[in-house]
Structure 1
């Protein structure tokens, strides 16, 4: 069992931006077309099934095509293939991961994401520092199911009581707490996150500062 304190990070809107309307606008020529593309792709309930590993990207493409005029199919294909390149690192959080590692704590990734997650993580400076990851699309179980948090702990020998989970979604934070972890909901306030991590590490005689 790993005796270190560990911080477990979500990816979307914690380590990397996820903004469906913005991504859709990158591949269309008007706000109206962007709204149509977003609704047909990121706004569909099937998007969650993609992250769950229940459907593949070809199925997601066909579903989205059925909800778009033919003139937007090329934009859809480009968006589905290349939106991860438009995701940007959230630098204060990525910097926090580096500081955690220097302090001797563990850092892990736990994300509801598809099997193409590595396309997005290619732009994440914190990812090479991570001690491990669990991704819903590969495991076919999703947050906030407590099973996915316990899967991470079992795979890497972590004690849930020594883990702080960071996510932008309140339900996912509650799932972590059910699994025995502490949790912090990240709302974009990097200073508040740093304070939460500092307090967590302090319980184990460690610190960032």
Structure 2
């Protein structure tokens, strides 16, 4: 590729020299047509730089588009919590005004417990999961039930979410959601997820009875939508979920901020 560019540049230099030298040659030439040839050469001398400039501008414009189309990334899979929607369980729990001790015990019994991830799997009725939370801190049964009733309030769509996925959709990328989500919260939050209209496919853990970072859920989305892992990028805020995707052959971006994730996508050729 570099040799091809050098040859083209060399040929261009020679052509430019000839274009500018021809008027001088014809100016001192003799003959009936020397005047016409002189003015013709003058025209070429002015026309050639213009044509070269137009060629370079066209190459810059269409060359960039071609690079984007030729990127081997075709599919982008998004997590929802802390990527497209804020998952703010801590400020939500603090809004109840519990003492520090009560706050910590309820946080451990609910949001920090293993039961929370199993609730995302959705194998049991929602009430059964609430009972399991209560069993971890029975002295706060009333408070835990109240907290669980309003957990959908933990989630809110980020300002950039719709514009980001719409932009990528218009660029021709296939977009998907792969998110751990309990059925109760999903039923309450789904209407807020305006970005879903841009998605080519959506998988929530409670609907397939699988959770990240287990391998089965990554295999499920690849198989269901016939995605090639080497042409797919997965964006998630959790390191373990990214590692799970990488084991399935999917490239990943661990989300820290919109700006950071967009920059890493661009490094992969997604523009």
Higher helix share: 2
- Listed one character per residue, the Cα deviations across residues 142-199 of structure 1 (whole Å, up to 9, x for unaligned) are 2222221121121112222221100011121121122121100002x21111112223
> Whole-Å Cα distance in 1 between the matches of residues 212 and 132 of structure 2?
24
Query: Pick from 225, 229, 250: which aligns with 1:156?
Result: 225
Contact 2:73 2:233 in 1 (8 A): no
> Whole-Å Cα distance in 1 between the matches of residues 241 and 89 of structure 2?
20
Aligned equivalent of 1:42: 111
149 and 67 in structure 1: CA distance in 2 versus 1, 3 angstrom threshold: closer
Aligned: 1:107 with 2:175: yes
Q: Where does the alignment leave 5 or more consecutive residues of structure 2 unmatched?
A: 1-71
127 and 64 in structure 1: CA distance in 2 versus 1, 3 angstrom threshold: same
The ranges of structure 1 where at least 4 consecutive aligned residues each deviate by more than 6 angstroms after the TM superposition are none
- Listed one character per residue, the Cα deviations across residues 103-151 of structure 1 (whole Å, up to 9, x for unaligned) are 1211111012212324233323312222211122222222222221121
Tell me how large the CA RMSD over aligned residues is.
2.3
Query: Pick from 174, 183, 186: which aligns with 2:252?
Result: 183
Contact 1:61 1:80 in 2 (8 A): yes
Aligned equivalent of 2:156: 88
Q: How many matched pairs?
A: 199
Q: Where does the alignment leave 5 or more consecutive residues of structure 1 unmatched?
A: none
> Whole-Å Cα distance in 2 between the matches of residues 143 and 176 of structure 1?
9
Aligned equivalent of 2:198: 129
Aligned equivalent of 1:73: 141
Aligned equivalent of 2:75: 6
By relative contact order (CA 8 Å, sep 6+), the higher-ranking structure is 1
Aligned: 1:197 with 2:261: no
Contact 1:16 1:88 in 2 (8 A): yes
